[in-house]
Amino acid sequence: MATASASNWLHVDIGDETPQLLSTLSSCMTLSDVQCDGYVRLLAADISFEDEEEPSAKLKVFRGLKLKKEQSLPGIPTAIESLYIDETEPKTPVIAVAIAESVLFYRHLKPYFKYTVPALDAEELELEVWRKLPVMQSETHDGLLQLLKDVDHAKLSRKTQRLLQLPVEERESFINIHKDSPVGRVGIIVAMCCLKRVSSSANPPSHLVLATDTGRVFVLEPQGFNLVYQAKTCSYETAVPSLISVHGTYETDFCIVVGTRNGGVYLLRKSNSEGQEILKMSTSLTGLLLLPVDQTIVMTTMEQRYLCYSKRGKLLYQVQLEAQPVCILPLMLSHLGITLVAVALQGGTVKFFLQRFLVDEFVVPQTVAAMLYGRMGMEDHVLTLTTQTGEVIMKILRRITRFENDIEAATLASKVSASSHRIVDASILDKPKKSSIFVEQASREKQHAKASYGSFQVELWRLRHTAARATIDAINSSESTISGDLTHAPVKLSAEVCGSGPAFRLYLTVQNLSTFKMASNLVVLLHADRRHYTMQQSVARLPSVLPGIPLRVDFEVVSVLDSLDKLPPASLTPDNSQIRVMLLKTGQSKPLIAAAVAMPQSEAAF
């Protein structure tokens, strides 16, 4: 059991339970609310090499440090991601597992869909050779295969590469078996990450970014499983991607940084179909990050260096490390307004950098092989480490944490708080947070009850005034019959009033003007002056509106008449005889469409 030497981290103790062993990589670990119960679980691919002939892998689901479920995978995964594919409530995450040339999608931990990256066109010479091989004598095969040996090995299909490796006596049977199979190069997925489509909500729909060993980069839209972006890493066939990092949103703009096996770093943008070479390292990279705040590129190399470059390839700073870096991980601390970079070194040391400054570090007994940071259970800042021996270590960032710009200040803070407890029970992941700030605030309110109540009332009325003003501004800015939000499908709203009164029937027609997007999570809200009109139903949740198929809903509106003469009240004028209709999107405060429907004069009810 490891105890952090720095006071910024709490170690999660598993007690007397048998520790779970996990052999995985950082790209094969993710956090997801797979059960849709608000509890974030750890998902990881456990790769086993016990079988000498063929290694195997299992997808394991942990609740805290306890294994809850596992299922076998059809191959060794490259990466695992958790993402949302639509905005339908309740939001259900989908687990994407990249294996070979395919991406397996799991929903509720059950197989959902399988996507295979498109194959590249084969060389004309290779196609011609495969047309001749099944129909020609076996004595002429050597001459045909000699023609294929002159072609670059990377440009040949898999079955051709396999055929060239077989001995002479096995070639004829191999040709008979695979003569009808297609000839084409299918790229193996070597890296995968998520790209948010929009960032307007807490869990927005995301796209998948796939990098293959053929140098191609794809952006996959998982709702319809269509490729919305394709690019080449560079014009060189030898540039094989190994690391990838993404920043931005697909609807606006995004950047993709790709690190290759030969040490090259390339930048791809939404408007470009080929990457731009930023720099070329003399050694291979062990980690690559595109930081979201200052848009700098951080990397670690086999030369035991921690480097930072701009997007133009200018070296900003570098730090010499004491040991070989194994993996790196970004830690976005939004409550502190900073982003740290965790670097795991050979020997078990984990260092935390704020730009070029070392602000924290701790040591674990074994070398860390994989790291993952994020919300787990009920805690927001959980760091999960797996060592090369398979031990799983969890640490929680303390709420009173502080990060100094030099290690001496951090060491001093560690000595001051050395008496505090740094080991907590694993059940802390199941408990909601309670901080001392709430207790202190409650004590102050009891001591100054009258002043606190007066201050609360002032702030309440100020809040109501601000909310009313913001509501009016939002409605006035949305007055149109067609939505103008570019991040969603354009929607058109039309209205029709039927009847002579006092009972009217208001028909609303909602039409999706998009050709490929589905308009979902829409709500219609009606507002009228209660002195003039009454409605049994003023809110209606609409089903998903498909492109080209209008949706019609109706509401009953009853005009209020005077109880004596059965006539409309005198206060009803053409200016205020209106019903305001608002089309809203779930989770958004500003309506997509706001319109006023002029109601006809009601007849007397005799």
User: How many whole angstroms separate alpha carbon 544 and alpha carbon 202?
Assistant: 21
> Do 244 and 226 contact (CB within 8 A), yes or no?
no
Task: Give the CA-trace dihedral at 2, 385, 71, 89, to 10 degrees.
Answer: 120
Cis peptide bond upstream of 182, omega within 30 = no
Write down the mean pLDDT value for the chain: 82
Tell me which residue has tokens 């700073």. 317
Residue 419 is predicted with a pLDDT of: 40
Cβ within 8 Å of residue 596, ≥6 positions away: 479, 578, 579, 580, 581
Q: Please give the DSSP secondary-structure letter assigned to residue 271.
A: T
Whether 94 contacts 105, CB under 8 Å: yes
Longest CA–CA span in the chain (Å) reads 110
Q: Residue 321: pLDDT band by 50, 70, 90 thresholds?
A: very high
At 24, list the tokens: 């995985």
- Residue 358's CB: how many other CB atoms inside 10 A? 17
3-state secondary structure of 309: strand
Q: How far apart are CA 380 and CA 373, in angstroms?
A: 9
pLDDT of amino acid 287: 92
Q: Which pair of tokens denotes residue 404?
A: 């100094």
Average pLDDT over residues 573-590: 80
Which helix (H) or strand (E) segment holds residue 415: the answer is helix 407-416
**Which residue did the predictor score with more confidence, 52 or 371?**
371
Residue 390 region by backbone torsions, left for phi larger than 0, else alpha for psi between -120 and 50, else beta: left
Whether 460 shows a pLDDT value over 70: the answer reads yes
Residue 134 vs residue 109, higher pLDDT: 109
The answer to whether the beta carbons of residues 262 and 287 sit under 8 Å apart is no
4 pLDDT more than 50? no
Q: Of the ranges 96-100, 153-157, 280-284, 463-467, which one carries the lowest mean pLDDT score?
A: 153-157
| DSSP 8-state assignment for residue 563 | T
The answer on pLDDT for 70 being more than 50 is yes
Comparison of pLDDT for 584 and 574, the residue scoring more:
584
Q: Which amino acid is at 361?
A: E
> Residue 413: what pLDDT?
44
Confidence of residue 324 (pLDDT cuts 50, 70, 90): very high
Note if the pTM is more than 0.75.
no
C-alpha to C-alpha distance for 490 and 523, rounded to whole angstroms: 15
CA 57 to chain centre: 24
Separation in Å, CA 290 to CA 329, 356, 446, 448: 11, 15, 49, 49
**Confidence band for 197, pLDDT divided at 50, 70 and 90:** confident
DSSP letters, 507-568, are EEEEEE--SS--B-SEEEEEE--TTTEEES--EEEE-PBPBT--EEEEEEEEE---TTT-S-
pLDDT digits (tens, 9 = 90+) for 11-58: 887 665 667 788 899 999 999 988 888 888 999 999 887 766 678 899
Of 13, 10, 15, the closest CA to residue 422 belongs to 10
pLDDT at 316 over 80: yes
What does the H/E/C string look like for 497-512? EECCCCEEEEEEEEEE
Q: Is 13 helix (H, G, I), strand (E, B) or coil?
A: strand
Which carries the bigger pLDDT value, residue 52 or residue 588?
588
pLDDT in tens, 295-304: 789 999 999 9
Give 339-356 pLDDT, tens digit per residue. 899 999 999 999 999 888
Give the model confidence (pLDDT) of 392-440 as tens digits. Answer: 888 988 877 777 665 444 444 444 444 444 565 555 555 455 555 666 7
Specify the amino acid at residue 279: L
Give backbone dihedrals phi and psi of 138, rounded to 5 degrees, phi first. Answer: -65, -20
**CA–CA separation, 480 vs 474, rounded Å?**
12
What is the band of 445 on the pLDDT scale with cuts at 50, 70, 90? confident
CA 536/CA 47 separation, integer angstroms: 60
Beta strand 315-320 with 539-542 is: unpaired
Tell which phi-psi region holds residue 225, choosing left (phi > 0), alpha (psi between -120 and 50) or beta. left
Element of type H or E holding 370: strand 368-376
